[in-house]
Structure 1
Amino acid sequence: MRWRYQPGRDVAAFDGAPGGTLPVYGAVADRLGTPIDARFRSACFVPSVSAVALQYDPVEWPVDLYTDITSLSPEHSQLDDYHCDAHNTEHGQVTGALADWILGQLGKQARPAAGWGGTSTRGAA
């Protein structure tokens, strides 16, 4: 299998964009019984800019796929909060960093907010 650049394409190069990957090309090569270079086995399946629901016009798509989403303020996303891995990982893979963040978010939800009439168990034995 070979990768070929197609000049003049109007579609952004999603395959190498940061985000969740999927080994689609590797699966096809394996099924065909042909070797494939490891760097071409996976492609971007869900770009980070999509995963964090950036505010943009979906028809015009004015978003740079390589936007550093860690530098954006929260109002750039349609989500209340999000956390991304520092490196591309396979789509759906829950890494230690993501698991820690998810558990932290669940812990926030488990604590009653001040003024809600909840009782605190802080300091209880």
Structure 2
Amino acid sequence: MRVRAQLLTAAVAALTGVGLVLSPVGDDTRLLELAPGHGPSAGDLLGLALVVVGVVWLEALVLRYLPAVRRRLGDRPLFAIALLGGFGFGIAVVSAVQGGPWWTTGLLLASLSSVVLGGVLASVTPG
């Protein structure tokens, strides 16, 4: 499969997963009980699985074509974008475990770095 088609497939999987997580699900059955009355439903877990598949696929493509991305961006901007994404992911994980509201900010930072790297990858690869 061509690189841009893989990027599109990964983005569709991640965005579909986000849509499933954000959609209101009618059943209140929780598969995991994280706190009293809180936890993901079956629809949430399916959405999270799609998000993970899409993001891992995107990052695997970026790692596969990292030399081309590095030539396009340069060392320092690539380091800054990767640092921003890692910092955002770390904030999201710690905040989600502790139950804080900062997980949205962390996921926004991680998503921003993924979108930038995916866009650079789409512009660098021939097909």
TM-score exceeds 0.5: no
Structure with more helix by fraction: 2
Structure with more strand by fraction: 1
Q: Which has the larger radius of gyration?
A: 1
User: Normalising by structure 1, what TM-score?
Assistant: 0.28
User: Normalising by structure 2, what TM-score?
Assistant: 0.28
